Amino acid sequence: MATGGLLAGRLALVSGAGSGIGRAICQAFAKEGAILAAVDVNKNNAESTLSMLQDGPHAAFSVDISSSSEVNAMMAQIKSHFSQPLIVAVSAAGITRDHFLLKMEEKHFDRIMDINLKGTFLLNQAVGRAIRDAETKDGSIINISSISALRGNIGQANYCASKAGVIGLTKTAAKELAKFNIRVNAVLPGFIETPMTDVVPERVRDIVSLLIPLGRFGRPEEVADTCVFLASDKSRYVTGACLEVTGGLYM
Ligand code: NAP
């Protein structure tokens, strides 16, 4: 385990830790000395993420982030497992269920809202309470939204609405939690190479890449580096912000 670093000794919860951006955040945080509570609906995947890190007192936990009872149980497990209080949390769990608006099924709208928006709400509420009660200084909550929240995206009415909701939630949480020394920010990735975008057809990827000023999809670690900044004291006067990590994509 890294002994120094921007996040030395800080306990950080990352949801969606078993894949893609969440996994990269765990790796980047660990490199900066954080202790990870890696949470995912699939605990084996979260454990795989931890197996990629240098040894440390990290632990994996299973949770369906859309269930308040599971979130509360996970928070109790984290509290009893670690000796130090939670100080950082990243809400990176998310899914897509794409279809055109006129063909989208209600159940797919509801599931997206449950995981992407309500799950982020439940995590912000639970972590906000935990950090407030521990009276730790300089808590940081980071919500992974999407550039699609601002621009819309064909076939993603449900997803874009959920991610726009995450921005409203973030800005309100930033105002309400500032008095407890908790900062809350959102990261808005563009197109990032993860299992979520593996399904994008080759011809669509080529078109999208032409629209990205930096000319390529992003890498999960490029989102993770932004999260390191937001989790650390380097961003101590940043709250309620939306940081775009898009290679300049604006469409
Ligand atoms: P990913 O590789 O699919 O990772 C998402 C992780 O969340 C998976 O491990 C998934 O588990 C987990 N998860 C799904 N439902 C869950 C639930 N109910 N409770 C807890 N964990 C759950 O996707 P990603 O690309 O890394 O996306 C991470 C975040 O970035 C998401 O919020 C996504 O919307 C956002 N984002 C991604 C991009 C992009 O281009 N990739 C762009 C903008 C925003 P399973 O695999 O077992 O379902």
Residue 1 lies in a domain: no
250 is catalytic: no
Atom of ligand 1 nearest to the CA of 193: 41
Q: Which residues span the domain enclosing 185?
A: 11-243
Residue 210 lies in a domain: yes
Instruction: In whole angstroms, give the CA distance from residue 140 to residue 235.
Output: 10
Residue 5 lies in a domain: no
As a three-state string, the secondary structure of the chain is: CCCCCCCCCCEEEEECCCCHHHHHHHHHHHHCCCEEEEEECCHHHHHHHHHCCCCCCCEEEECCCCCHHHHHHHHHHHHHHCCCCEEEEEECCCCCCCECHHHCCHHHHHHHHHHHHHHHHHHHHHHHHHHHHHCCCCEEEEEECCCHHHHCCCCEHHHHHHHHHHHHHHHHHHHHHHHHCEEEEEEEECCECCCCCCCCCHHHHHHHHHHCCCCCCECHHHHHHHHHHHHCHHHCCCCCCEEEECCCCCC
Q: Which of 29, 159, 191, 217 is catalytic?
A: 159
How many domains in the chain? 1
* C-alpha 177 – ligand 1 centre gap (Å): 26
* C-alpha 92 – ligand 1 centre gap (Å): 6
The CATH number given to whatever domain includes residue 195 is: 3.40.50.720
Per-residue pLDDT of the chain (251 residues; tens, 9 = 90+): 566 899 999 999 999 999 999 999 999 999 999 999 999 999 999 999 999 998 899 999 999 999 999 999 999 999 999 999 999 999 999 999 999 999 999 999 999 999 999 999 999 999 999 999 998 878 999 999 999 999 999 999 999 999 999 999 999 999 999 999 999 999 999 999 999 999 889 998 999 999 999 999 999 999 999 999 999 999 999 999 999 999 999 76
Residue 3 lies in a domain: no
Residue 220 lies in a domain: yes
Whole-model pTM: value is 0.98
Atom of ligand 1 nearest to the CA of 96: 34
* C-alpha 241 – ligand 1 centre gap (Å): 21
Residue 251 lies in a domain: no
Q: Is the C-beta atom of 19 inside 6 A of ligand 1? A: yes
* C-alpha 138 – ligand 1 centre gap (Å): 26
Residue 106 lies in a domain: yes
Q: Is the C-beta atom of 162 inside 6 A of ligand 1? A: no
